[in-house]
Amino acid sequence: AASVVVGHPLDTIKTRLQAGQGYGNTLNCVLTVYRNESVAGFFKGMSFPLASIAVYSSVVFGVFSNTQRLLSQLRHGDPAGTPALADMALASVVAGFVSVGIGNPVDLVKIRLQMQTQPYVKGVG
């Protein structure tokens, strides 16, 4: 969760610059976001990744360790056996595929929220 909170403002700037919105450079992008949206603009879209990071990490590490144990069972007949380098690599590939499947929808929501450039409207209604 700490990595999401610390890294999100920089990710927001990166996302805005990659979209080619005419900011020109990083400093201009930072100043424009701050002027138009205040500090809250740097944290747009953070709630969804923050809420899902625990599930994401649990699933990815769980898939990695269970795949590694399965491969050790198949190779050595003992799931607690020392895994071979090839087994660790294969477990990493499997965990990577799962991580992409989980991470992409979260990133899509995050990026769409980060690209909202209108300031928050308060007191409407």
Question: Tokens 């599930």, residue?
Answer: 55
**Angle ∠(38,43,49) on CA atoms, nearest 5:** 170
Q: Is this structure's pTM higher than 0.75?
A: no
Cβ(33)–Cβ(54) below 8 Å:
no
Task: Please report the pLDDT score of residue 48 as a whole number.
Answer: 87
State the average pLDDT over residues 82-105: 93
**d(C-alpha 33, C-alpha 12), whole Å:** 10
- pLDDT attached to residue 63: 97
pLDDT score recorded for residue 6: 94
Q: 14-73, pLDDT tens digit by residue? A: 999 998 878 889 999 999 999 999 999 999 989 888 988 999 999 999 999 999 999 999
What does the pLDDT average to over 104-118? 85
Instruction: Write down the residue that tokens 């740097």 correspond to.
Output: 42
Q: What percent of the chain has pLDDT over 70?
A: 94
**Tokens of residue 109, six digits:** 């929501």
Which CA distances in Å does 86 have to 29, 32, 46, 64, 68?
Answer: 44, 49, 36, 13, 10
